[in-house]
Amino acid sequence: MKQGRTFSVVGRPRRRVDGRAKVTGQTRFADDIVLPRMLYCKLLRSPHPHARVKRIDGSRAEAHPGVHLVLTGTTMPIEFGILPVSASRTPSAAAARVVSMRLIRAWGCGERSSLQCSMRGSDTSSANRV
Q: Which residues bind other proteins (CB under 8 A)?
A: 13, 15-16, 18-29, 31-32, 65
Distance (Å, whole) CA 115 – CA 130: 10
Where b means 16+ CB within 10 Å and e means fewer, 40-66 reads: eeeeeeeeebbbebeeeeeeeeeeeee
Identify which of residues 20 and 52 has a Cβ nearer to other proteins in the complex: 20
In angstroms, give the least distance from the CB of 41 to other proteins: 15
In angstroms, give the least distance from the CB of 125 to other proteins: 31
Identify which of residues 16 and 60 has a Cβ nearer to other proteins in the complex: 16
Q: Residue 119 is which amino acid?
A: M
In angstroms, give the least distance from the CB of 20 to other proteins: 6
